[in-house]
Amino acid sequence: MPNRPRALELGMATYLVKKRLIRREARFPVTLMLEPLEICNLACHGCGRIREYADVFHKRMSVEECLRVAEEAGAPIVNIPGGEPMIHKQIDEIVNGIIAQGRFVYMCTNGLLMDRAFGRIPPTDHFAFVVHLDGMREVHDAAVDRAGVFDKATAHMREAIGLGYRVCTNTTIYRGVDAEEYVELFRFLRDMGVEGCITAPGFDYDSVTHDREQFLARRESQELYSRVHELCDHMRIPFYNNPLFHEFLQGKREYRCSAWAMPTYTVEGWRSPCYLLADAHVGSLKELYEGTDWEAYGTDRDPRCANCLMHCGYEASTILDAFSKPRDLVALARS
């Protein structure tokens, strides 16, 4: 199990109880996805952002805009993906400002520039690096289309852990890669001392035009996940996603998509309907929630969603659904 900060667990639990049980709110942010820029120093085969937002690579959010959006969402957790966030010259001010609001920040990075944060963002239980690794050296460097990335990223990870930073990883599981490759990676990361390993299937969304054969259909995703978890059983891999979500990824559970729980704000505004699909960009969170037909999206509703098993749509579903199922709530508490 991952060794998450106790303050994070208590803060999230308190927030969810207030929103769902006390205020009875139907839809609210659980995690904010904040993208202060879209440009990246890599061109990974499976990335849609560098194609969707190519015409706005010059744009940067100001520190003030980022802090305003974090306040508007009100979520206890802010994920900062991109693009590569470390390219933003004021990323330390953005992160430190959000932490000063009392929120927890997870900064997604390919690891190449993460040493720029050392010292500028102090180690704290309110901040974690999330380094994207899609396999061991050969597989990962092929996925990002550049040699040497795995070695440099993992060297920075070891340095960060040594300096007292929280370090997690995010791994996309693709078609054509053996389950054993991912098992070797997770064992490697466990032994390195990462806090937790986040996993997601390679989802074939519209903006990706290169190497579409690498992506997994729904049944393939579930079968591969089941195999990976079978091989990892009893290895004490610190998988970061909750156990109900892992059962969902293996086809043992069914949930409705709750993309509204992870609203995404980009340099173009609030992205509707979700992190993966951009049918529109709107100016406020209120407009996003009231102007999006949430019932139109999800498996069996929109063909673009047919194979989606992403945490941005379903992990919050597993948590919120557990509020009405005591046994599931106990499983979450134990995790």
What is the three-state SS of 64-133?
Answer: HHHHHHHHHHCCCEEEECCCCHHHCCCHHHHHHHHHHCCCEEEEEECCCCHHHHECCECCCCCEEEEEEC
Query: pLDDT digit of tens for each residue in the chain (335 aa)?
Result: 678 899 999 999 999 999 999 999 999 999 999 999 999 878 776 676 777 888 989 999 999 999 999 999 999 999 999 889 999 999 999 999 999 999 999 999 999 999 999 999 999 999 999 999 999 999 999 989 999 999 999 999 999 999 999 999 999 888 778 999 999 999 999 999 999 999 887 665 444 444 445 456 778 888 888 899 899 988 999 999 899 999 998 989 999 999 999 999 999 999 999 998 999 999 999 999 999 999 999 888 888 888 888 888 899 999 999 988 888 888 887 77
In a domain, 325, yes or no: yes
Residue 242's domain spans which residues?
Answer: 6-334
In a domain, 24, yes or no: yes
Q: How many CB atoms lie within 10 A of CB 185?
A: 24
The residues, ordered by sequence, that sit 6+ positions from 194 with a Cβ below 8 Å of its Cβ are 157, 161, 167, 168, 169, 238
- Nearest-angstrom CA–CA distance, 313 and 241: 13
pLDDT for 322: 92
pLDDT for 225: 85
Can you give the CATH number for the domain in which 287 is found? 3.20.20.70
pLDDT for 210: 47
In a domain, 27, yes or no: yes
In a domain, 290, yes or no: yes
Q: What residues pair up with 332 in beta bridges, in sequence order?
A: none
Count of domains for the chain: 1
pLDDT for 204: 55
- Phi and psi at residue 220, in whole multiples of 5°? -60, -40
- Of 127, 125, 35, 130, the residue nearest 80 (C-alpha): 35
- Asked whether the beta carbons of 254 and 245 are under 8 A apart, the reply is no
In a domain, 170, yes or no: yes
- Asked whether the beta carbons of 212 and 54 are under 8 A apart, the reply is no
Tokens standing for residue 237: 């891999």
The residues, ordered by sequence, that sit 6+ positions from 224 with a Cβ below 8 Å of its Cβ are 173, 175, 179, 201, 216
Residue 194: strand, helix, or coil: coil
In a domain, 1, yes or no: no
- Nearest-angstrom CA–CA distance, 108 and 315: 18
Token pair 């944060």: residue: 117
Please count the CA atoms within 13 angstroms of the CA of 316 that sit on its side-chain side.
Answer: 21
Alpha carbon of residue 34 to chain centroid: 11
Please count the CA atoms within 13 angstroms of the CA of 34 that sit on its side-chain side.
Answer: 35
Cα–Cα distances (Å) from 9 to 96, 119, 120, 214, 245, in that order, read 20, 26, 26, 35, 17
- Phi and psi at residue 270, in whole multiples of 5°? -70, 125
- Nearest-angstrom CA–CA distance, 135 and 205: 21
pLDDT for 218: 76
pLDDT for 308: 86
Question: pTM of the full predicted structure?
Answer: 0.93
Q: Which helix (H) or strand (E) holds 164?
A: none
